[in-house]
Amino acid sequence: MKIVLAFDDNYAPHAATVIESILDNTTQTLSFALLYRKLDATILTAFRRHFETRVASIDFIEIDPDLLLQVSHTQTAVNLTIDTYLRLFAPQVLPDDEFIIYLDCDTIVLDDIGKIIEKIDFSQAVYAVKESDPNYKLKGWAQVRPIERPIAPYLSMEAYLYRLRRHLGMAQEAPFFNAGVLIFNLRLWRELELTQQVLEYIAQNPRLNNGDQDALNAVLNGQFGELAPRWNNGILMFGLMAGYDTSLLHEARYKPAVVHFLGLKPWSYMCSHPHKKAYLKYRKRTTWPTNIYQDRTFRNIITKHLVHPLRIGLHKIAGICPLCVRQRLHTPQPGFFDLTYLQK
């Protein structure tokens, strides 16, 4: 079984943290393929020394910069770099593998990663966790980043996803997936020439707010295999419940297999994610054990310990979304940030 990660110098500590979390929760013999565009030699040495005796194999694969020229013109969200596109080239740099498991570097694994393929029939080229389903009436509001306009307004979830599908050229009945955790059926991927299809789509549609995630969804247009939400519990962050059974959402919240840190990252001082301590635990086992908070300023200290608790208090007392209090908008529909129905 091969696990694939893609990262640059800045995300090397977080990639190492992901690997630590995987190894801590499995007894299987695993192989890793680490894709990169450019890495400092000291980082490559650190990974080899730390992991090579603990895994079946660990391969460092440099992606030809010329391949990335095809996506260098894209306009994405400011938090995405060109390295997010490296996974698209995994099928051609791993010709001997039939399938791979891809993980973003802002995840940690809390269960045996081998279980993810137990119910997979490999009839689809891609397997992922469904993020939204047009057959399910989503509640709440979303802040739309610049897809069609420079100012980010608040829209209902349904309006946001309608605009997103329209922008990407997707069928309105097609479900949408999050690309932070993927299983690639490489045989079928190659047969369908999906890398080329995605690259051609990007060339014709350079304004992709979510990078290759948007392109993959547009090309597949709902044709993907579904994983249980516990394999990417990031969907809980923004109320994108996708019509899942309540028991599956309960499992994703309280017994996640893969924690996906969407939004603020656990290496941020302002992050208050319930699994931040788990990230820091695995981070301490890496070659980069000390997490230095770059955003620990006086203003953020006041915001985290005074302003945020006040907003949360208002939310609990009045049922008002803290974000909408800040934006002075109307109270959203019930359901946004509301997971009370998932009580233990």
What pLDDT digit, counting tens, does each position of 188-208 carry? Answer: 999 999 999 999 999 888 888
Residue 335: per-residue pLDDT? 36
pTM, 2 dp: 0.85
Find the range with the poorest average confidence among 129-143, 258-272, 302-316, 317-331. 317-331
Residue 241: per-residue pLDDT? 55
Residue 47: per-residue pLDDT? 96
Average pLDDT over all residues of the chain: 82
Residue 333: per-residue pLDDT? 36
pLDDT digits (tens, 9 = 90+) for 243-293: 677 788 888 888 999 999 988 899 998 888 889 999 999 999 999 998 778
Are 332 and 324 within 8 A, CB to CB? Answer: yes
Q: What percent of the chain has pLDDT over 70?
A: 79
Interior CA angle at 333 toward 231 and 315, to 5°? Answer: 85
**Of the candidates 275, 291, 169, which has an alpha carbon nearest to the alpha carbon of residue 220?**
169
The Cα 93–Cα 61 span in angstroms is: 8
pLDDT band at 218 (very low <50, low <70, confident <90, very high): very high
Helix (H) or strand (E) holding 202: helix 194-204
Provide the strand spans (E) within 163-264. Answer: 176-185, 225-227, 258-260
**Of the candidates 181, 45, 159, which has an alpha carbon nearest to the alpha carbon of residue 108?**
181
End-to-end Cα distance, the chain? 34
Higher pLDDT pick, 309 / 185: 185
| Residue boundaries of the structural domains of the chain | 2-296, 297-344
Residue 148: per-residue pLDDT? 41
Higher pLDDT pick, 29 / 163: 29
Q: Which phi and psi (to 5°) does residue 71 adopt?
A: -120, 5
- CATH fold for the domain made of 2-296: Spore Coat Polysaccharide Biosynthesis Protein SpsA; Chain A (3.90.550)
Residue 167 corresponds to which amino acid? H
In the predicted model, is pLDDT for residue 217 greater than 60?
yes
Residue 77: per-residue pLDDT? 60
Average pLDDT value for residue range 7-16: 95
CB atoms within 10 A of CB 78: 7
Average pLDDT value for residue range 26-41: 94
Residue 170: per-residue pLDDT? 92
The Cα 135–Cα 26 span in angstroms is: 36
The Cα 289–Cα 13 span in angstroms is: 8
Residue 252: per-residue pLDDT? 87
